[in-house]
Structure 1
Amino acid sequence: MDGCCQITTEKSTTPTQCPVCQQKGKSIQLITLKALLKPTVLETTQPEMTYAFCTNASCDVVYFSGEQTFGKDMLKVPVFQKDDALDVPVCYCFGWTRENLIQAVQQNQRPIDHIREQVQANRCGCEVNNPQGSCCLGNVTSFIRSINKS
């Protein structure tokens, strides 16, 4: 009977591959899921589990654990890696969409400098705003490079 009512704080190991596409996932903090899953979906999470982010653009799964998957329709926001629409954020904290970035580059503005300034001022909240749960500068940089190549 000892410990039957105790909550375990031990987390399971993070699954390494998405159960749908088999691509390696990126470990994600629970705070990201809490911030971005729709309320009815959030109620089904298992906080004792660890979750990962599936970066595969062609896979509908965004988050997964050993026992659950959460698809892009279960999030409050569109996911940059999985939605190529122009109005989808590339930088979730400061509102830079693909469309905004294209316009800024065409007008010789420097959105990366703007984002870096905000990050250095400790104003970003990527862990709760960005579905990948980490800094978006890599995505922004890659997207701007792709604009410049075309």
Structure 2
Amino acid sequence: MESNCCAPEVHDATAYPASGIRGKAVPLITLKALLTPPALARLTPEETFRLCPDPVCDVVYFSPSQTYGTGDLKVPVFQKDQAAGVPVCYCFAHTRADLERAAVTGTGQALEASIRAHVQAGRCGCEVNNPQGSCCLGNVVTVLWSVERGCRFW
């Protein structure tokens, strides 16, 4: 089920239609890796797709003429699905619940350091694992920071 928050009838193809905020471009390889086979069959690879991070909008990717919703992806999307079991770090399978547990038990910094070490060693594959098409470390740090300060944004 698609909402119209990121519908393609936008004048500025880089902006989220609902908010007017510019969407971050996502590499084509990300869409090819994460779209379901029926969704992939509709892909127009010449277009630039952008991520819509609005958690109340079903649209994940949008271009001037196409949108893909959460049901079109093989994985849940961190920005769209607030469940504790949704990955924050897609490459190393750390969920919101894992990060919350680490923050509460005082092992959050060690978990973050472990992910950083994997990234520095060239082991991450965020461009094909993470729906945002880029490194998840910022999301990991944000979740850990929030939990450590008693905030819970999901």
Distance in 2 of aligned mates of 1:38 and 1:21: 27
Deviation by residue 1:21-77 (Cα, 9 ceiling, x = unmatched): 543210111000000010110000001111111112221110000000001111000
User: Which segment is superposed worse, 77-86 or 20-29?
Assistant: 20-29
- The structure that has the greater radius of gyration is 1
* CA contact 2:104–2:147 (8 Å) conserved in 1: no
Given that 1:55 and 1:81 are in contact with CA atoms closer than 8 Å, whether structure 2 keeps it comes out as yes
Given that 2:60 and 2:69 are in contact with CA atoms closer than 8 Å, whether structure 1 keeps it comes out as yes
Alignment gaps of 5+ in structure 2: 1-11
Q: 1:62 aligns with which of 57, 60, 63?
A: 60
Q: Report the count of equivalent residues.
A: 137
What amino acid does structure 2 have at the position aligned with 1:106?
Answer: V
SS at match of 1:35: helix
Q: Is the 8 A contact 1:86 1:97 kept in 2?
A: yes
RMSD: 1.4
Return the TM-score normalized by structure 1.
0.86
Counterpart amino acid of 1:97? T
- After TM superposition, the runs of 4+ consecutive aligned structure 1 residues lying more than 6 A away are none
Q: What are the within-5 Å matches in structure 2 for residues 107-122 of structure 1?
A: 107-109=105-107, 110-122=110-122
- Asked whether the 8 Å contact 2:59–2:68 carries over to 1, the reply is yes
Partner of 2:45: 47
Q: Does 1:73 align with 2:71?
A: yes
Q: Report the alpha carbon displacement of residue 18 of structure 1 after superposing the two structures with TM.
A: 2.7
- Matched with 2:4 is none
| Deviation of the 1:125 alpha carbon | 0.3
What pairs up with 1:1-150 in 2 under 5 angstroms? 15-19=13-17, 22-109=20-107, 110-150=110-150
Distance in 2 of aligned mates of 1:49 and 1:103: 40
In structure 2, C-alpha distance between the alignment counterparts of 1:114 and 1:21, rounded to whole Å:
36
CA distance in 2 between partners of 1:24 and 1:145 (Å): 25
Q: Distance in 2 between matches of 1:72 and 1:145?
A: 27
Please report how far the alpha carbon of residue 20 of structure 1 lies from its aligned counterpart in structure 2 after TM superposition.
Answer: 5.1
